[in-house]
Chains A and B, each alone.
Chain A
Amino acid sequence: MIKNAQILPISFLFITLIILIITISFNRKNLIIFIITIIGLLISLLSIFLIKHTLFYPLIMIDNYSLFYTFLILISALYCSIFSYTYLNKNEEVYMLIICSTIGAILLVLSIHMTTFFIGLELMSIALYGLIIYLRNDKDNDLKALESGIKYMVLSSMASCFLLFGMALLYFYYGNLTFTNYYFKLDDNTTLWTIIGIVLILISLGFKLSIIPFHSYTPDLYEGTMPPITAFIATVTKISVFVAFMRLLMILPNITSFLNNVLTIISIVTILFGNILALKQNNLKRILGYSSIANLGYLLTVIIAMQMHICKFILETINIYLLTYTLTTLGIFGIISLINNETLSFYKGLFWSKPDLAIVLTIMLLSLAGIPLTAGFIGKVYIFLNALNYQLWFILISIGIGNSIGIYYYFRIISFLYMNVNKKQLIFDLNSFVYYLVLSLSLFILVFGLFPQNIISLIRVFS
């Protein structure tokens, strides 16, 4: 066995990144760069299976739980790079930035120390700025991209300033940068400044998760970027930041009980307004942006339950929900990048011109809405059971209301798909690789919905 196989995935990614940089400077062939990227991502995916033992360094911790998310992040990155290959013709730097950002995300998932935490977050975000403002020589889209880029950049830098300041406050009072040490130190004598520090850290992570009221950039960002990159934002950043958020709260159990009320209010507001805001939008990506806000709101309820009593069931809930959310989101953005149009009116009568694509999109949307026989239903069941077990009645009610509003706007999209309008034939290449990827995703969602137990028991290993 390879010694220290635990850091293989991330080191393979680094090697790929270096090779990419060197290759780009010599040879700017799109296909070659693409293949190198895919191979690098695949190797680092496979190397996850070599890992047998957990690793505990002062800077990073690698256990089954973080490996699961590394896996999920790598899968999403793989999908996103494939989407962007078909979406753009000339995009050598995109792969580089995607890999860079993926490294940051994985580092964030593994981190238990403030330095790795900060570096991971910033590596992810800075590479993301580049991806967001990637110009396509298309005046209208470029302006949108620039605008969303500047918004995201300013707000995100401000959030990282708050993060840094919060961490600085903690360091100032406790003289330690390792999170795990706070577990022993922070128990009873919490001062005002430590509370402020923790809240600032959590807020800046909440910004990345686009939790209301720190969400305002999200729909603009989703609308402005190109679909493959939106998929990347919606999956990789959300997964990694959420896991970091959870790690942080798991490590700080005693002192964060005061956060419960705030978190409850925030999650209720996030679920309700996230769903309400998506009601009458006319841009598919904007709807998905709001829906991602709502979905993170559902996940936040699990965090609240975790504050009360931590058990395996909660970790399982988060695993399953994030898995279903990731796969569904990837599928939808795959279709959007395939069709290359995001206005809702364009999707009118899609079924009559491209029935297979419409059906796949329907499955994805049903899964997001949490209709039975899809993967999303299983995730929703978990969330519901969780709230029920911990008797979070207000949250339960808001989940119910939010879900029913959600069904309205998801079905609005679906009804658009099946509208009978005379329509010119859509022209796009259906034989592309993306099409089969999306198809496989929708199949997986259906299989997960029909036969959940195999996948659940597989995931249970990781929680």
Chain B
Amino acid sequence: MTLIPIDYVFILSLILFFIGIFGLLIRRNIIVIFICLEIMLNSSAYVYVISGEYWGQPDGQVMFILIMTVAAAEISIGLALLIQLQKNLKSFDIDKFSRLKG
């Protein structure tokens, strides 16, 4: 059994990260933005897992679990925010709210 070269995996995570960034830049829907943020988080979590495997340490996986926890907390607050947004603004478009400016 041959292992996949580690550089390939790294490039995969980079691609995922850039997908997240482009999604953030292009999309206006707040749910999609949260999805993009999740993708970015997970891509970096992926790097931790593979580098932990590469260095033969458990640290990478510990970090992965922490990231998962944090992402969950963040998304739960994000969803609560979404509910409030829907109640108050009736819209998910992030360009709809620009009252604070100047």
Contact between A175 and B81 (Cβ–Cβ < 8 Å)?
Answer: no
A68 within 8 A of B: no
Within 8 A of A (CB), among B2-25: 10, 13, 17, 20, 24
Q: Determine the distance from Cα of A167 to Cα of B45 in the docked complex, in whole angstroms.
A: 10
Contact between A154 and B33 (Cβ–Cβ < 8 Å)?
Answer: yes
- What are the residues of chain B within 8 A of A144 when measuring CB–CB? 99-100
Which among A151, A164, A281 has the highest number of chain B CB atoms within 10 Å? Answer: A164
A372 within 8 A of B: no
B47 interface neighbour in A147, A171, A177, A281, Cβ under 8 Å: A171
- Shortest CB distance B56–A (Å): 9
B77 within 8 A of A: yes
Contact between B70 and A161 (Cβ–Cβ < 8 Å)?
Answer: no
Interface of B is mostly: helix
Within 8 A of B (CB), among A86-143: 114-115, 118-119, 122, 126, 129-130, 133, 135, 139, 142-143
Within 8 A of B (CB), among A250-302: 281, 286
Q: Determine the distance from Cα of A161 to Cα of B43 in the docked complex, in whole angstroms.
A: 9
B94 interface neighbour in A130, A150, A157, A169, Cβ under 8 Å: A150
A139-171 CB mask vs B (1 if < 8 Å, else 0) is: 100111011111101100110110011011101
B40 interface neighbour in A150, A153, A165, A219, Cβ under 8 Å: A165
Contact between B59 and A220 (Cβ–Cβ < 8 Å)?
Answer: no
Number of interface residues of B (CB under 8 A): 45
Within 8 A of A (CB), among B71-88: 73-74, 77-78, 80-81, 84-85, 88
- What are the residues of chain B within 8 A of A451 when measuring CB–CB? none
Known: A114-B63, A157-B37, A171-B60. A165 touches B51 (CB 8 A): no
Contact between B100 and A220 (Cβ–Cβ < 8 Å)?
Answer: yes
- Shortest CB distance A201–B (Å): 12
Known: A143-B99, A171-B47. A153 touches B77 (CB 8 A): yes
B37 interface neighbour in A122, A139, A154, A171, Cβ under 8 Å: A154
Known: A115-B62, A161-B20. A129 touches B37 (CB 8 A): no
A172 within 8 A of B: yes
Within 8 A of B (CB), among A423-450: none
Q: Determine the distance from Cα of A336 to Cα of B20 in the docked complex, in whole angstroms.
A: 40
Residue of A nearest to B101 (CB): A220
Contact between A146 and B55 (Cβ–Cβ < 8 Å)?
Answer: no
B29-59 CB mask vs A (1 if < 8 Å, else 0) is: 0100100010011011101101110110101
Which among A119, A151, A165 has the highest number of chain B CB atoms within 10 Å? Answer: A165
- Shortest CB distance B41–A (Å): 6
Residue of A nearest to B36 (CB): A158
Known: A135-B84, A147-B99. A164 touches B10 (CB 8 A): no
Contact between A177 and B40 (Cβ–Cβ < 8 Å)?
Answer: no
Known: A133-B81, A147-B100, A153-B77. A165 touches B30 (CB 8 A): no
Contact between B67 and A164 (Cβ–Cβ < 8 Å)?
Answer: yes
- Shortest CB distance A173–B (Å): 8
Which among A167, A169, A175 has the highest number of chain B CB atoms within 10 Å? Answer: A175
Q: Determine the distance from Cα of A150 to Cα of B97 in the docked complex, in whole angstroms.
A: 10
- What are the residues of chain B within 8 A of A148 when measuring CB–CB? 100
Q: Determine the distance from Cα of A168 to Cα of B42 in the docked complex, in whole angstroms.
A: 11
- Shortest CB distance B99–A (Å): 6
Contact between A150 and B57 (Cβ–Cβ < 8 Å)?
Answer: no
Known: A126-B74, A154-B33, A219-B100. 5 other contacts (CB 8 A): A144-B99, A160-B70, A165-B40, A169-B47, A172-B54
Please, could you name 10 A-B residue pairs with CB atoms under 8 Å apart, sorted by A? A114-B63, A143-B99, A146-B85, A150-B94, A154-B24, A165-B40, A171-B59, A172-B47, A172-B54, A219-B102
Which residues of A are in contact with B by a Cβ distance under 8 Å?
114-115, 118-119, 122, 126, 129-130, 133, 135, 139, 142-144, 146-151, 153-154, 157-158, 160-161, 164-165, 167-169, 171-172, 175, 177, 219-220, 223-224, 281, 286
Closest 5 CB pairs of A and B: A175-B55, A168-B47, A161-B40, A220-B100, A164-B44
